[in-house]
């Protein structure tokens, strides 16, 4: 499907679904969704199944911040498992076939009872990891944002170092597994929030809402092989591989 036909497609499918499973819509999220990830990343393939998206760099490209073995296992085992289990859930609710991952996640409450939890967990896992791979990039790219995103960050946290400290505090404060995010509200105001497990800030059921600009996986599987139990050390290292160019694109 061509990019410019996606909104039309979503409008049609949302309308078609509205009567059957009560899809809600958040206007600003709909506007944002087209800018967060490409259509290739959020739409299922022709047969209605989701697939593991290509990793945009090699397994060792993010070393030393993230080691090659962690990347390989994280991508080929963990992310693949989310994709497989999401597809298994959708196979049980064929009326959901063809919907984008964002349509499913922004309407968790409207999903059929039997698949609501697996789609929340594995659909969330699929979206979150697809987002994570694109918000990381090999070293020596931009080490800080510029332009509008930088201005918004400075107005919120005064300095880039203070922002990093706040992200680290929030990330180390997540009990168990989850994510730490820098998100924007509809006016572009930034904040730092966390979500448990594979929830994200697009989900209707999430108390923390917003457009994800940067998201960091703080599950142990994201860092344990290199950093063991030292999540704070992982959160210090990861700034060298954040794709600020992509974050600026998403912020708009
Ligand atoms: Mn993970």
Token pair in block for residue 155:
């107005």
Distance 205 CA to ligand 1 centre (A): 20
Q: What was the pLDDT predicted at 32?
A: 60
* pLDDT reading at 52 higher than 70: yes
Distance 29 CA to ligand 1 centre (A): 24
Q: Is the N-terminal amide bond of 190 cis, ω within 30° of 0?
A: no
**What is the per-residue pLDDT across 85-115, written as a single tens digit (0 to 9) for each?**
999 999 999 999 999 999 999 999 999 999 9
Distance 251 CA to ligand 1 centre (A): 23
Distance 75 CA to ligand 1 centre (A): 8
Distance 129 CA to ligand 1 centre (A): 6
Whole-prediction pTM: 0.88
Residue boundaries of the structural domains of the chain: 147-251
Distance 136 CA to ligand 1 centre (A): 13
Distance 77 CA to ligand 1 centre (A): 10
Average pLDDT, the chain: 88
**What is the per-residue pLDDT across 186-225, written as a single tens digit (0 to 9) for each?**
889 999 999 999 999 999 999 999 999 999 999 999 999 9
Distance 147 CA to ligand 1 centre (A): 30
Q: Would you call 48 helix, strand, or coil by DSSP?
A: coil
Distance 48 CA to ligand 1 centre (A): 24
Distance 141 CA to ligand 1 centre (A): 23
Cα–Cα distance, 5 to 211 (Å, whole number): 22
**What is the per-residue pLDDT across 146-170, written as a single tens digit (0 to 9) for each?**
999 999 999 999 999 999 999 999 9
Cα–Cα distance, 61 to 247 (Å, whole number): 19
Please tell me which residue, 205 or 6, carries the higher pLDDT value. 205
* CA geometry: angle 215, 71, 85, nearest 5 deg: 75
> What's the topology of domain 147-251?
minor pseudopilin epsh fold (3.55.40)
């Amino acid at each position: 499907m061509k990019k410019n036909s996606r909104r039309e497609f979503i409008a049609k499918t949302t309308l078609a679904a509205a009567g059957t499973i009560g899809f809600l819509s958040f206007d600003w999220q709909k506007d944002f969704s087209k800018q967060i990830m490409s259509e290739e990343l959020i739409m299922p393939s022709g047969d209605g199944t989701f697939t593991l998206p290509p990793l945009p760099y090699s397994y060792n490209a993010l070393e030393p911040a993230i080691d090659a073995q962690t990347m390989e296992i994280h991508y080929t085992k963990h992310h693949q498992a989310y994709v497989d289990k999401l597809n298994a859930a959708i196979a049980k609710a064929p009326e959901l076939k063809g919907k984008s991952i964002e349509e499913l996640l922004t309407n968790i409450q409207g999903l059929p009872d039997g698949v609501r939890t697996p789609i929340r967990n594995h659909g969330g896992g699929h979206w979150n990891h697809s987002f994570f791979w694109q918000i990381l990039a090999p070293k020596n790219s931009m080490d800080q944002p510029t332009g509008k995103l930088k201005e918004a960050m400075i107005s919120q946290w005064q300095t880039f170092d203070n922002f990093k400290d706040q992200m680290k505090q929030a990330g180390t404060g997540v009990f168990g597994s989850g994510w730490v995010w820098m998100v924007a509200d509809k006016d572009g105001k930034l904040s730092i929030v966390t979500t448990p497990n594979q929830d994200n800030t697009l989900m209707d059921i999430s108390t923390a809402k917003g457009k994800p600009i940067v998201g960091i996986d703080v599950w142990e599987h994201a860092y344990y092989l290199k950093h063991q139990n030292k999540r704070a050390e992982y959160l210090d290292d990861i700034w060298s591989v954040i794709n600020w160019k992509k974050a600026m694109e998403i912020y708009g």
